[in-house]
């Protein structure tokens, strides 16, 4: 067919060429045109034959494909059946009887304990011998179980005997107390502390179980500690604890005297005296003091509540007599909130406490608000871990800390570090408020030259005044996670130029660094939104981290120092482009700008004995 089409195309091409040649010579080409037209008819017929053969070939190919697919499907079914049979064969090969996991007697023990089986061994088949042996060992184990039950009964009798002897020994306690009171003058004469230790143990034993565990752990850590960074003591009276236990026993006896219908309905009544009586803390609580005697101290009051089955902590400050109490005390209220992530103490982390509070017509939110209003503190999850109380966090993850020694030491270290950081920060805020600082002694450990600008004001401002500023830093949305902020305003002056610094200090410091926003008033108002130099200045101030400083960690002083010398460089570089030069170049830098980016030389470097600023 291809040959016929090629032949017809060649004939058609020759006819067209003949028509063209006749036209060029001016002859008539009607007959040639008619013949060429008839050639198109033959070409059309050949084209139809080609399409017919192609369709027939495709149909034949489709039939063959269906046969192949059918054969492939049959082969796949056979393969699946083969794999299934192999799995069943392996399963049969791995089949084992349950008695294979039992520890049976050895042949010698079996023959000695069950000699009747040895005589019948030759008469039975191997399978029946095995079944008979299992039956005999079952009877043997039942006999051993009876002996075990008899031993348990004798053990209970021995325990009762020991309990009766222990009660007789306890009856000697009043006589021993009388003897101790009679010999007290002798103890005083010999300067023995038996009475003090006895009173301490007498108070500690009335602590609730969680606080008792915590107090024992704190005492052990306090004895092995070398620096004595904290102390713990039990606060309260033994008589109050005894009275509370008697009231509990009396209340239980009145609620369950005979399980009558009228009396059994009394526990379902709501709390008569309200939320205050329902959430009354245990009369004894633990007072933990962090800090050395004679210096600033952090006092933690740890209480336990029977209704909500958890402990709470409340922090207080104890300033030394010669210490300055000026500073931002709001940090103390948030000191314990950011020890661990997502542990703000805003809910009761006890499993199933919501359902138990429903019996008293209370909710967990009401209990938390009451604890905060009465200055009882908050039930943090880390505190429950110290008291060995199981907790459930916001993600509904169950946690029960077992290594109490390790977790308690870690939490105390975290509190101590945050407490020391807050003390240093409050000293820095006081020094900035009263301008009782010497910036020339800071130098950020690298800068030897002096400063031209000076700090003239540092005052506290409201949260609204801080957020009224225009800065790209405030446009970054972030989850506060319960973080609060304190805001301040600092004024730096050099000649006719003034810079306002708006500082925001977070409550989770030092986990988050203070944020500085800068406004320069000189030949107009310059902020980070209308001046790239101010934006770079803010970045250079806010990029300072504590690891870049020495152990003193005076972060506010170092940030102020960076801000002042950056303001000096801004005035010196910006003033050089003015018609009247107001500020001369005083800082050691080679180039005032970095090519087309117009970046200022804020970064300070040291190469050998040469100091210089660079971009």
**What's the pLDDT tens digit per position in 240-262?**
887 877 777 776 666 555 544 44
The verdict on residue 99 lying in a domain is no
Please give the pLDDT value at position 343.
82
Residue 582 CA to residue 597 CA, distance in Å, equals: 24
Task: Say if strands 391-392 and 398-399 run parallel, antiparallel, or are unpaired.
Answer: antiparallel
pTM: 0.60
**Domain assignment of residue 593, yes or no:** yes
Q: H/E element holding 232?
A: strand 230-235
Could you give the C-alpha distances from 353 to 196, 259, 346, 456, in angstroms and in order? 39, 26, 14, 55
| The pLDDT of residue 355 | 83
Last residue of a domain, one of 392, 421, 450: 421
Q: Is the CB of residue 588 less than 8 Å from the CB of residue 572?
A: no
Identify whether residues 47 and 187 lie together within a single domain. no
How many domains, the chain?
5
Note down the domain range covering 479. Answer: 437-614
Is 432 a domain residue?
no
Nearest to 117 by CA among 101, 130, 103: 130
How many alpha carbons fall within 13 Å on the CB side of residue 10? 6
Same domain, 153 and 230: no
> Is 342 inside any structural domain?
yes
Q: Are residues 455 and 378 in the same domain?
A: no
- Cβ atoms of 312 and 377 within 8 Å: the answer is yes
User: If we measure between CA atoms, which residue out of 253, 322, 313 comes closest to residue 287?
Assistant: 313
pLDDT digits (tens, 9 = 90+) for 334-389: 778 888 878 888 888 888 888 888 887 888 888 888 888 888 888 999 999 999 89
Long-range Cβ contacts of 161-165 (<8 Å, 24+ apart): none
- Residues 6 or more apart whose CB falls under 8 angstroms from that of 408 comprise 214, 217, 218, 221, 386
Residue 428 within any structural domain of the chain: no
The token duo for 557 is 């002083």
Residue 529 falls inside a structural domain: yes
Last residue of a domain, one of 64, 91, 118: 91
Angle between helices 194-204 and 238-255 (to 10 degrees): 30
Residues 239 and 279 in one domain: yes
d(CA 385, CA 393): 12
Q: For position 340, what pLDDT does the model report?
A: 84
Residues 44 and 146 in one domain: no
d(CA 534, CA 570): 8
Q: What local confidence, expressed as pLDDT, does residue 47 receive?
A: 83
Q: Are residues 126 and 83 in the same domain?
A: no
178 and 232 assigned to the same domain: no
Q: Is 234 domain-assigned?
A: yes
Report d(CA 557, CA 53) in Å as an integer.
Answer: 94
Task: Give the per-residue pLDDT at 445.
Answer: 46
**Do both 146 and 291 map to the same domain?**
no
Q: Are residues 79 and 108 in the same domain?
A: no
Which residues of the chain are modeled with pLDDT < 70? 1, 114-124, 191-201, 227, 251-274, 320-333, 438-450, 470-481, 551-553, 575-581, 586, 588, 590-598, 605-612, 614-615
pLDDT at 199: 57
- Phi/psi of residue 347, nearest 5 degrees: -150, 165
Query: What pLDDT is recorded for position 74?
Result: 95
Nearest CA to 425 out of 336, 289, 330, 309 is that of 330
Residue 429: inside a domain: no
Domain boundary (421, 453, 487) is at 421
**290's tokens:** 């962090």
The pLDDT of residue 428 is: 86
Does 222 lie in the same domain as 182?
no
Q: How far apart are CA 470 and CA 528, in angstroms?
A: 8
137 touches 109 (CB < 8 A)? no
| pLDDT (0 to 100) of residue 436 | 77
Q: Are residues 216 and 139 in the same domain?
A: no
pLDDT of residue 610: 58
The rounded distance, in Å, linking the Cα atoms of 590 and 584 is 14
Asked if residue 115 and residue 177 are part of one domain, the reply reads no
Residue 14 and residue 21 in contact, taking contact as beta carbons nearer than 8 Å: no
């Amino acid at each position: 067919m291809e040959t016929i089409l090629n032949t017809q195309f060649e004939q058609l091409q020759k006819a067209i060429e003949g028509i063209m040649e006749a036209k060029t010579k001016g002859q008539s080409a009607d007959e040639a045109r008619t013949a060429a037209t008839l050639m198109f008819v033959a070409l059309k017929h050949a084209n139809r034959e080609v399409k017919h053969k192609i369709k027939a070939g495709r149909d034949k190919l489709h039939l063959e494909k269906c046969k192949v697919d059918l054969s492939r499907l049959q082969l796949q079914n056979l393969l699946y059946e083969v794999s299934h049979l192999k799995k069943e064969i392996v399963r049969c090969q791995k089949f084992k009887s349950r008695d294979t996991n039992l520890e049976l007697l050895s042949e010698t023990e079996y023959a000695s304990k069950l000699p009747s089986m040895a005589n019948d061994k030759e008469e039975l088949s191997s399978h029946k011998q095995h079944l008979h042996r299992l039956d005999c060992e079952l009877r043997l184990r039942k006999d051993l179980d009876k002996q075990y039950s008899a031993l348990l009964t004798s053990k209970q009798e021995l325990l009762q005997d020991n309990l009766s002897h222990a009660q007789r020994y306890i009856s000697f306690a009043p006589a021993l107390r009388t003897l101790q009171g009679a010999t007290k003058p002798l103890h005083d004469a010999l300067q023995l502390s038996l009475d003090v230790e006895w009173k301490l143990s007498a108070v500690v034993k009335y602590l609730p179980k969680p606080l008792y565990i915590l107090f024992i752990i704190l005492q052990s850590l306090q004895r092995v500690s070398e620096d004595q960074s904290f102390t713990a003591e039990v606060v309260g009276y033994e008589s109050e604890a005894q009275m509370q236990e008697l009231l509990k026993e009396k209340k239980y006896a009145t609620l369950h005297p005979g399980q009558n219908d009228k009396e059994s309905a009394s526990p379902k009544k709501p709390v008569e005296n309200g939320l205050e009586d329902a959430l009354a803390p245990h009369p004894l609580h633990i007072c933990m003091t962090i800090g050395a005697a004679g210096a600033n101290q952090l006092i933690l009051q740890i209480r336990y509540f029977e209704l909500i089955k958890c402990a709470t902590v409340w922090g207080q400050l104890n300033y030394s007599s010669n210490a300055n109490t000026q500073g931002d005390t709001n940090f103390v209220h948030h000191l314990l909130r950011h020890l661990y992530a997502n542990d703000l103490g805003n809910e009761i982390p006890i499993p199933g406490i919501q359902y138990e509070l429903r019996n008293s017509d209370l909710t967990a939110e009401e209990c938390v608000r009451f604890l905060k209003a009465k200055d009882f503190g908050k039930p943090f999850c880390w505190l429950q871990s110290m008291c060995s109380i199981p907790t459930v966090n916001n993600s509904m993850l169950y946690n029960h800390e077992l290594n109490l020694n390790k977790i308690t030491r870690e939490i105390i270290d975290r509190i101590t570090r945050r407490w020391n950081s807050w003390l240093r920060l409050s000293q820095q805020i006081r020094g900035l408020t009263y301008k009782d600082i010497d910036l020339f002694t800071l130098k950020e450990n690298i800068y030897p030259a002096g400063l031209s600008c000076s700090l003239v004001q540092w005052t506290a401002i409201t949260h609204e005044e801080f957020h009224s500023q225009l800065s790209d830093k405030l446009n970054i949305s972030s989850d506060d996670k319960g973080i609060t902020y304190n805001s301040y305003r600092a004024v730096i002056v050099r000649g006719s130029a003034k810079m306002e610094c708006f500082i925001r200090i977070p409550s989770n410091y030092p986990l988050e660094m203070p944020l500085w926003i800068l406004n320069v008033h000189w030949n107009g108002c310059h902020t980070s939104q209308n001046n790239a130099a101010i934006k770079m200045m803010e970045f250079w101030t806010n990029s300072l981290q504590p690891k870049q400083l020495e152990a003193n960690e005076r972060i506010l002083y170092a940030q102020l120092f960076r801000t002042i010398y950056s303001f000096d460089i801004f005035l010196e570089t910006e003033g050089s482009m003015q018609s009247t030069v107001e500020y001369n170049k005083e800082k050691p830098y080679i180039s005032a700008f970095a090519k087309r980016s117009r970046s200022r030389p804020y970064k300070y470097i040291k190469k050998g004995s040469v100091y210089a600023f660079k971009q």
